[in-house]
Amino acid sequence: MDMQFIILALVFLSVTGVALGVARWLSRREVVEQRLSQLDEGETEKSITGTSEWLAKVVKVVGPMAKLSAPKEGWEASSLRVRFMQAGLREASWPVIFFAAKTVLALLLPGLFVVFQGITLGGALTLNTNVLILLLLASIGYYLPNMVLTNLMRRRQRELTEALPDALDLMLVCVEAGLGLDAAMNRAASEIGLRSQALADELNLVALELRMGVKRERALRNFALRSGVDDISSFVAMLVQSDRFGTNVADALRIQAETMRTHRRLRAEEMAAKIPLKLLFPLIFFIFPSLMLVLMGPAMISIYRTLLPMLGGSR
């Protein structure tokens, strides 16, 4: 009994640690906001250096496990690499951690099931059922990092979509004040960081590519590729056409900002219109049964106490 308790405690601690680690990883935005709120630049540089050293140590430990799940060659040019960029994971260590997580989870979940079955079930399940559950858990563990990556990508794309109209308004004000398009993008990148750090990073990357000598059209198309957002793609196409045909950039920015603001309002109205349908099933399966129990319960009890004895006496 003591050994079973120790094993169960170890399993509980391991699962709790993994869950806390995933939650810590998903809450990177709060960490970034805390880092931006620090006033001492020395402490900020020290924190960034410590994070880099920690990632380097993690990559060194999990590197051999990542080789079991990583493709042999060619994955750098595949859509998976683009998904990493769209999720904001540009460091070289994130693919190693990603493939290592696929290997660890594909082995950890079946292992936990074997331990759990040996302790509690005691071989009550059949061989076919055990094999099916092991394969199912291995598949879940293998594809769970893909789901996390997709979730991060969608959250970042939503943040970029919601913050883009505000950035266009800033760029419009700067252009109408006499700044060039490149200077307006730099100014918007420095100001939009309070609204969306992801969009500020993307605009800073565009400005960095322009300073390195990359053509504006190529830099803007790289911006659209890194984001994967349809609104940004249309914004880039508008800037490219305006630059190519020599039209007024301020008018194009004004029309684009109004269009994207309208799209944002329509998306909000669409989400609000979906709320009654999403509330329908919780109402039917959770709230209505409780309500009917409260309303009809006393009446049913009264019928049971009065009517049933009268029917029994009449017989």
Domains, the chain, in order of start with CATH, read 2-155 (no CATH), 158-273 (1.20.81)
Output the pLDDT for position 226. Answer: 87
Report the C-alpha gap between 137 and 132 in whole angstroms: 9
Q: Which residue has the higher pLDDT, 1 or 196?
A: 196
Please report which confidence band the pLDDT of residue 37 belongs to, taking 50, 70 and 90 as the band edges.
low
Please report which confidence band the pLDDT of residue 179 belongs to, taking 50, 70 and 90 as the band edges.
confident
Which amino acid is present at 308? L
Q: Lowest-pLDDT range, 100-109, 121-130, 248-257?
A: 121-130
Is the separation of the CB atoms in 185 and 203 below 8 Å?
yes
Please report which confidence band the pLDDT of residue 181 belongs to, taking 50, 70 and 90 as the band edges.
confident
Q: Is the pLDDT of residue 100 over 80?
A: yes
Q: From the DSSP assignment, how many helices (H) and strands (E) are in the chain?
A: 13, 0
- What DSSP state is assigned to residue 39? -
Q: Is the pLDDT of residue 7 over 80?
A: no
Report the C-alpha gap between 102 and 99 in whole angstroms: 5
b/e map 27-43, b = 16+ CB within 10 Å? eeeeeeeeeeeeeeeee
Which amino acid is present at 49? T
265: Cβ–Cβ under 8 A, 6 or more apart, which residues?
none
CA angle 183, 161, 165 (to 5 degrees): 50
How many other C-beta atoms can be found within 10 angstroms of the C-beta atom of residue 69? Answer: 17
Structure-token pair, residue 177: 């004040």
HEC sequence for 230-293: HHHHHHHHHHHHHHHHCCCHHHHHHHHHHHHHHHHHHHHHHHHHCHHHHHHHHHHHHHHHHHHH
Q: Is the pLDDT of residue 272 over 70?
A: yes
Output the pLDDT for position 151. Answer: 92
Question: Once rounded to an integer, what is the mean pLDDT over residues 269-274?
Answer: 90
Provide the whole-model pTM: 0.68
Q: What is the mean pLDDT of the chain?
A: 78
Q: Is the pLDDT of residue 260 over 50?
A: yes
Q: Lowest-pLDDT range, 23-37, 214-228, 232-246?
A: 23-37
Tell me the percentage of the chain whose pLDDT exceeds 70.
72
Report the C-alpha gap between 121 and 111 in whole angstroms: 15
Q: Which residue has the higher pLDDT, 302 or 29?
A: 302
Q: Could you tell me which of 145, 121, 151 has the C-alpha nearest to residue 133?
A: 121
Output the pLDDT for position 92. Answer: 75
Is the separation of the CB atoms in 98 and 83 below 8 Å?
no
State how far Cα 12 lies from the chain centre: 26
Rounded to 10°, the helix 181-191/127-176 angle is: 120
Q: Could you tell me which of 77, 90, 79, 92 has the C-alpha nearest to residue 205?
A: 90
Q: How far is it between the farthest Cα atoms of the chain?
A: 100
Question: Once rounded to an integer, what is the mean pLDDT over residues 104-125?
Answer: 76
Is the separation of the CB atoms in 226 and 156 below 8 Å?
no
Q: Could you tell me which of 90, 86, 97 has the C-alpha nearest to residue 56?
A: 97
How many other C-beta atoms can be found within 10 angstroms of the C-beta atom of residue 292? Answer: 10
Residue in the structure block whose two tokens are 């070289």? 92
Please report which confidence band the pLDDT of residue 6 belongs to, taking 50, 70 and 90 as the band edges.
low
Is the separation of the CB atoms in 204 and 189 below 8 Å?
yes
